[in-house]
Amino acid sequence: MTRTAKDKGYRSEIAGAIHEMISDAHDAGVVSRTTLRSFDEACLAPAPTLAGDEIRAIREREHVSQPVFAAYLNVSRNLVSDWERGVKRPGGPALRLLSIIQRKGLQAVA
């Protein structure tokens, strides 16, 4: 099965091709980490925001408790509870992991 740019989290096919080229140049030592981060911001699609009920639906779809879900995300159970109740909103790496779990399931981060 061929993966598309959207599956990999790029804004478009072109952005995906450019990002992979710059990533390879970084691996070869031609492009700095700072430049690679600039391309990350430009090429990678932003993680979608998730409401509390969406986070709860993801967790329940995966048939895990809040403590188990929190362990997969490397956060506290209380934080997962706060997200689900809408007291707090996930951001950064947690939001990216949640979007991966939403698309591919919990086994993608296990």
Per the structure, how many domains does the chain have?
Answer: 2
Average the pLDDT over 79-105 and give the result: 93
Rounded to two decimals, the pTM is: 0.66
The CATH number linked to 87 is 1.10.260.40
What is residue 10's three-state secondary structure?
strand
Q: Are residues 56 and 104 in the same domain?
A: yes
pLDDT in tens, 34-80: 998 888 888 887 778 899 999 999 999 999 999 999 999 999 999 99
CB-based contacts of 50: which residues, under 8 Å, 6+ apart? 58, 83, 89, 90, 95, 98, 99, 102
Q: Are residues 34 and 72 in the same domain?
A: no
Q: Are residues 56 and 29 in the same domain?
A: no
Q: Which domain holds residue 36?
A: 5-43
d(CA 60, CA 69): 10
pLDDT at residue 71 in the model: 95
Q: Are residues 38 and 76 in the same domain?
A: no
Q: Are residues 58 and 100 in the same domain?
A: yes
